[in-house]
Amino acid sequence: MAAEIHSRPQSSRPVLLSKIEGHQDTVTAALLIPKEDGVITASEDSSARNMIFVFLAAPCSAMAYHHDSRRIFVGQDNGAVMEFHVSEDFNKMNFIKTYPAHQNRVTAIIFSLATEWVISTGHDKCISWMCTRSGNMLGRHFFSSWASCLQYDFDTQYAFVGDYSGQITLLKLEQSTCSVITTLKGHEGSIACLWWDPVQRLLFSGASDNSVIMWDIGGRKGRTLLLQGHHDKVQALCYLQLTRQLVSCSSDGGIAVWNMDVSREEAPQWLESDSCQKCEQPFFWNIKQMWDTKTLGLRQHHCRKCGQAVCGKCSSKRSSYPIMGFEFQVRVCDSCYDSIKDEDRTSLATFHEGKHNISHMSMDVARGLMVTCGTDRVVKIWDMTPVVGCSLATGFSPH
């Protein structure tokens, strides 16, 4: 389905502050150092860079940085997770130990200082958690598909794992075991990124179906909101608690800022029927009705606003409906089209062009800075304050 974004004219946009080049392969992760003019990057050219270079035995596929303890954990293509300690002046990285966490590419890493766990997911279809004191494996849990992304609630020790089947699994991690709490199903493509907000207890997921879903884990009977405005795979997410905005990035360079401080509607479940729920004409598999009425069957479509099964004639119009997350024009039945007012089509998101492939993004909310990186080997640092209204960023001059 062709998608055309109709958003409000933009008076402000992200400001590109700096570009960092020099990696010889895909940059898999880039993190801004809090309170410092510096960026830590990891790349498939087997290097981890701070203000210095550390070359590893295998391509780097994931990274986590804990600023208070200055510990860096780097995941590799061979399944290992390596720990380093950064000096106070950020001019030296000392190797600490290697964790044999996986049998295949590491996709995500989280470090918990309270439990001294390094938690990771990988292409060996598992989540593992290891003790950073002893270096020993504490537990593993396996999935039916590659585990692609990870989020963790430090207070409850709940882990959220997205996988290539499009499913998100919620696990309760214990010292040596875990239990599956629930699974979340809503995406039609592999999960590429997750973001957990522990304050409002909201989980956001981005996937290869070009959409974002907000899952209300904290209550409201499992309420979910669908956000559709990207043209390509959603690769990175960040939710800003203070301004109630969601920043999402896609592999085609699209950067979207969603206003979540509005009353939104849930997209309806699609209904199934043997005939059009508007004109009652049979669909092509309804052989009995086609025979009885001597008519040819029609193709089934669905109205994105009401969810009813309709034929093409009864859903000939298209409309955006941002309150339900549809920022571009989608199929709606004729009666729903007539019910949508002009003010209902006003965009609830702003869209910007990063002008490079984005496979990873992180933000320093306190300074209003964002860093993006991807397969074009370029790292970009952005001032996002004109867009999201965070604290004003000071001058940034990465080493």
Domain boundaries, the chain: 15-268+346-388, 287-344
Q: pLDDT tens digits for the chain (399 residues)?
A: 233 333 333 448 999 999 988 888 889 999 998 888 888 888 887 666 554 455 566 788 999 999 999 999 999 999 999 999 998 888 888 999 999 999 999 999 999 999 999 999 999 999 999 999 999 999 999 999 999 999 999 999 999 999 999 999 999 999 989 999 999 999 999 999 999 999 999 999 999 999 999 999 986 556 789 999 999 999 999 999 999 999 999 999 999 999 999 989 998 989 999 999 899 888 988 787 778 888 887 888 999 999 999 999 999 999 999 999 999 999 999 999 999 999 999 999 999 999 999 999 999 998 999 999 988 999 999 999 998 876 544 444 433
Q: Distance between CA 206 and CA 227 in Å, rounded?
A: 9
How many Cα neighbours within 13 Å face the side chain of 264? 28
Q: What is the CATH number of domain 287-344?
A: 3.30.40.10
Closest CA to 193 of 226, 144, 233, 232: 233
Q: In terms of C-beta distances under 8 Å and separation of at least 24 residues, what long-range contacts does 290-296 make, across chains too?
A: none
Neighbours of 228 (CB within 10 A): 23
pTM check: above 0.85: yes
Residue where the block lists tokens 């990274």: 63
- Give DSSP secondary structure letters for 21-87: ---SS-EEEEEEPTTSS-EEEEETTSEEESSSEEE-SS-EEEEEEETTTTEEEEEETTS-EEEEEE-
| 100: its two tokens | 């044999």
Q: Tokens 């994105």 belong to which residue?
A: 304
pLDDT at residue number 5: 34
Contact 166, 143 (CB under 8 A): no
CATH, domain 15-268+346-388, list 3.40.50.12780, 3.40.50.1220, 2.130.10.10, 3.30.70.580: 2.130.10.10
pLDDT at position 80, please? 96
Element (H, E) at 334: helix 334-339
Q: What is the pLDDT of residue 6?
A: 35
Q: Residue 358: what are its φ and ψ, rounded to 5°?
A: -120, 115
Question: What's the pLDDT at 56?
Answer: 60
Tell me whether strands 81-86 and 71-76 are parallel, antiparallel or unpaired.
antiparallel
Predicted confidence at residue 221, as pLDDT, reads 58
Token couple for 11: 């008076």
Look at the block and give the residue holding tokens 């000096």.
87
pLDDT value at residue 7 = 38
Count Cβ atoms below 10 Å from residue 38 Cβ, excluding itself. 18
Cβ atoms of 60 and 73 within 8 Å: the answer is no
